Structure 1
Amino acid sequence: MKIVIINSGSSSIKYQLIDMPSGEGICSGMIDRIGLETSNLTYVTDHVKLEEILPIPTHKIGLEKIAKLLMDEAVGVIKSTSEIEAVGHRVVHGGSTFSNTVIINKEVKEKIKQLFDLAPLHNPANLEGINVAEEIFENAQQVAVFDTAFHQTIPVVAHKYALPNYLLTEKKIRVYGFHGTSHKYVSEKALAHLENNSKIITIHLGNGCSMTAIKDGKSIDHSLGFAPSNGLIMGTRSGDIDQSIVFYMVNTLGYTLDSVNSLLLKESGMLGLTGFSDLRDIEANAELGNVDCQLALAMNAYRIKKYIGSYAAVLNGLDAIVFTAGIGENSSYIRKLVCTDMDYFGIKLDESKNEIRSREAREINTADSKTKILVIPTNEEIEIANQVYELLY
């Protein structure tokens, strides 16, 4: 069974063609920096590796480009879209409606659309991916896998806000958690690697960032909440702020609520601090002496450290921390900043191991480090494929 996996993020599209149930990857690739003139496209099979820099202004254009490559006479891996039996879609916010993987129909799409306000950088891109895939792979089953599902095990003491009770019971305002597909995948890999240890913190660092406290394989706390905007400092999102700032900006500075919302989601985070949203640009400029970039990186790592301390308390111990996703897997700079001066938690980084780049799961801690430091490449696409196959078969 051939399944196309589409992970349509806020500024990127990851995709894979996977044969199930073997889990064999036939083709994979990514488009990032969507919306810029210098979007990066990769397309990889056993025989071909294409890399291209070109302007890709929208997700729709990116998905159409991917489909053309899959069926290209020279480098394609399928002759017809009829070979694809299912398309699995990552959908960020399932609200209180979706706690499991579902087959997509008109009603499901409408409910995803109703949740746009809760994930404005993601759910619209997710739905766009679904609509385009329905046109391209018209005979395939379209299936949605929700990021919020893994975090349904967060206990009420952690997922309930200190608001009037009816806002939870009637309006479903609570911590939902996100990046659940990634956190689930890497936590299972980590637990298999650690064998008997059960208290871990997974750190997903990309354009969007989040952390999860995981005990015995279950999510028990998470840095993102009702919508994917709080917690860590992200590419364009501020993460945690004092909510009184919003009222000050509206009532005293004259901002509208819409303008504040846009500022916090699209103009803040690393972009607001440095003028750059891509960490590769920020690190390069920091090395050249850009003080704003140096401070932003330090702030980014400081916020992660605060959550490590908080979650170590929640877990009542710590066996391992796990770095994953684009930044977590590739930025030795950020990992070093996070793991420096963390001896109290038994976190000791081996700097030579930290510089090694690999697609394999690996330890980067010293031999005497009480807490393991793992780098585990996430594979949300394989996790989605597994859930799609389980649902359909």
Structure 2
Amino acid sequence: MKTPVLVINSGSSSMKYQLVDVDEGTAVASGLIERIGQGTAHARHQFAGNECEFDGEIADHAAALRVMQQLFVDSGRPLRAAALTAVGHRVVHGGSLFGDPVLVDDYVLEQIRDLSSLAPLHNPANATGIEQAMAAFPGVPQVAVFDTAFFRTLPAAAYTYAIDREVAAQQQVRRYGFHGTSHQYVSRQVAVALGREVEDLDQIVLHLGNGASASAIRKGVAVETSMGLTPLEGLVMGTRSGDVDPGALLHLLGTGGLDVDALDTLLNRKSGLLGLSGVSDFRDLAGLIDAGDADAALALDVYCHRVRKYIGAYLAVLGGADVLTFTAGVGENAPAVRAQIVSGLQRLGISIDPARNAVRSSEPRIISPDGSPVLVMVVPTNEELAIARAAAALVAAA
């Protein structure tokens, strides 16, 4: 393994990680640490087909990194800082300051923290993860890769909100877009799978996970995306509302008895599928629908309807598309959801073959019928590999 990169994705109470062999494009080891700072935490580590776990108190991200290092030891492959090419970090919001991946120093770390006002659920945790990794792996280059970077190419007509321009400029209010690392990776993998150049394709990519977003990509360049100033706008998500009339928010603030913090909690943590049905996981939602729960059925209808609206909008933005691609947890693993989203789009040249749609595979695949005007594909995303490649390339060029 000539180019090992440790990729860390820190959440407020979780930390995902992968040790990636950039040359082979594979994950050597991976893990997830949950419930950091919440009493009894749980960590799961996978290496060479084996799994080891830890249950106990993990007070903070510094302790989480120590647990991660011990799990590498327990699995028989100690993680030595001297052997790492870099540590790559997913950072959700780069604002207008950061586009390309950047080597982290004290200034960069301070700026990432300052951008927390635009991504309060994400950037503070991202910054904490970087800070602790710098302490745990002294001398190893730390590289920040920004979720917003791919969407810096949006045209002004797409990223501009129609509010007072001076207020917008002063408060940095514009569409930034998120999940960019995934959208870029998947759109390129589509081209590879088809044996085409990405510059030859107009694509719509649907990243459907607990967070969900759509993008329109013309000739490899992002021209529209559903998330906005924050990751809250756009599609219905697990716990996030997606699009809501701003007047409804003013109503809730003015007469609904909510303050700003309560409204933030409502929209980010108590809305989406959870708000409509009481559950945020599609597996639980399917169980409720099978049991005849009308609220759960409506939640799925709302979710799919919103995605269809964006597909139609992006077909208009692009003037037609060559490929529509599903990715991420729901997009890759929920054939019934894919089928419901695409239902009724035949007149737009979009349909799926039921047998192909039912196939379970970790490989990129076409699920539309032969001869379809618009190819429909399922392409697994791999944000960790994309981050590792970006980090390795930056370090090599430095």
Counterpart AA for 1:28: S
Deviation, structure 1 residue 113: 1.2
Q: Which is worse superposed, 57-66 or 329-338?
A: 57-66
SS at match of 2:237: coil
Partner of 2:4: 2
SS at match of 1:115: helix
DSSP-derived class of the 1:138 partner: coil
Alignment of 1:162-181 (within 5 A): 162-181=162-181
Partner in structure 2 of residue 338 of structure 1: 341
Deviation of 1:32 (Å)? 6.6
Question: Which of 64, 69, 72 lines up with 2:71 in the alignment?
Answer: 69
Note the alpha carbon deviations across 1:188-227, whole angstroms, 9 max, x for none. 0112334265111011111111000000000000000111
Query: What is the DSSP-based 3-state SS (H/G/I as helix, E as strand, rest coil) of the residue aligned with 1:207?
Result: coil
Residue 243 of structure 1 corresponds to 246
SS class of match (2:214): strand
Partner Cα distance (2:259, 2:390) in 1: 42
Correspondence 1:135-154 to 2 at 5 A: 135-154=135-154
Residues of 2 paired with 1:154 and 1:86: CA distance? 30
Say whether the 8 Å CA contact 2:40–2:58 is kept in structure 1: no
Q: What stretches of structure 1 of length at least 5 have no aligned partner? A: none
Q: The residue matched to 1:348 in structure 2 has which SS?
A: coil
After superposition, the Cα gap between the structure-2 partners of 1:308 and 1:266, relative to the gap in structure 1 and judged at 3 Å, is same
Aligned: 1:320 with 2:319: no
1:282-327 residue CA offsets vs partner (Å, 9 max, x unmatched): 2222222222212111111110000000000000001111111111
Q: 2:281: which partner in 1?
A: 278
Deviations 1:227-267 (A, max 9, x none): 11010011111000000111111111221122111211111
Correspondences of 1:89-238 after superposition (within 5 Å): 89-194=89-194, 195=196, 197-238=200-241
Residue 17 and residue 364 in structure 1: after superposition, are their counterparts in 2 closer, same or farther (change >3 A)?
Answer: same
**CA distance in 2 between partners of 1:36 and 1:284 (Å):** 29
**Contact kept in structure 2, 1:84 and 1:137, CA below 8 Å:** no
Q: Which residue of 1 aligns with 2:51?
A: 50
Query: Of 254, 264, 267, which aligns to 2:267?
Result: 264
In 1, Cα distance between equivalents of 2:57 and 2:326: 29
Deviations 1:29-87 (A, max 9, x none): 44578899998855333x33327696888873655433322232xx1423533322310
The answer to which of 257-266 and 180-189 deviates more is 257-266
Could you tell me how far apart the structure 2 residues matched to 1:332 and 1:11 are? 31
Q: Is the 8 A contact 1:203 1:212 kept in 2?
A: yes
Distance 1:150-1:341 versus aligned 2 partners, 3 A rule: same
Of 369, 373, 383, the match for 1:370: 373
Closer/same/farther in 2, CA of residues 348 and 34 from structure 1, 3 Å limit: farther
Residue 381 of structure 1: which of 371, 380, 384 is its match? 384
- In the TM superposition, residue 15 of structure 1 has moved relative to its aligned partner by 2.0
SS at match of 2:51: strand
What residue is the counterpart of 1:390 in the other structure? 393
User: Which residue type is aligned with residue 376 of structure 2?
Assistant: I
Q: What CA distance in whole angstroms lies between the structure 2 residues aligned with 1:23 and 1:282?
A: 34
What's the CA shift for 1:277? 2.0
Hey, what's the Cα distance between the residues in 2 that align with 1:234 and 1:92? 17
Structure 1 residue corresponding to 2:350, chosen from 347, 350, 367: 347
CA–CA distance in structure 2, aligned partners of residues 266 and 333 of structure 1: 25
Q: In 2, distance between residues paired with 1:268 and 1:11? A: 20
Tell me what 2:83 maps to: 83
Aligned mate of 1:23, from 25, 35, 43: 25
Q: 1:296 aligns with which of 292, 295, 299?
A: 299
User: Equivalents in 2 of 1:53, 1:270: separation in Å?
Assistant: 31
Aligned 8 A contact 1:17 1:25 in 2: yes
Give the alignment's Cα RMSD to 1 decimal: 2.5
Note closer, same or farther for the CA distance 1:139–1:174 as it changes in structure 2 (3 Å cut). same
Number of residues paired by the alignment? 390
Q: 1:244 to 1:379 in 2, by over 3 A?
A: same
Identical positions, percent: 42
Bigger drift between 163-172 and 324-333 goes to 163-172
- Choose 83-92 or 4-13, whichever is displaced more: 4-13
Query: What secondary structure sits across from 1:367 in the alignment?
Result: coil
SS class of match (1:245): helix
- Mapped partners of 2:320, 2:58: distance in 1: 46
In the aligned structure 2, how far is the partner of 1:359 from the partner of 1:230?
29
How does the TM-score come out when normalised to structure 2? 0.90
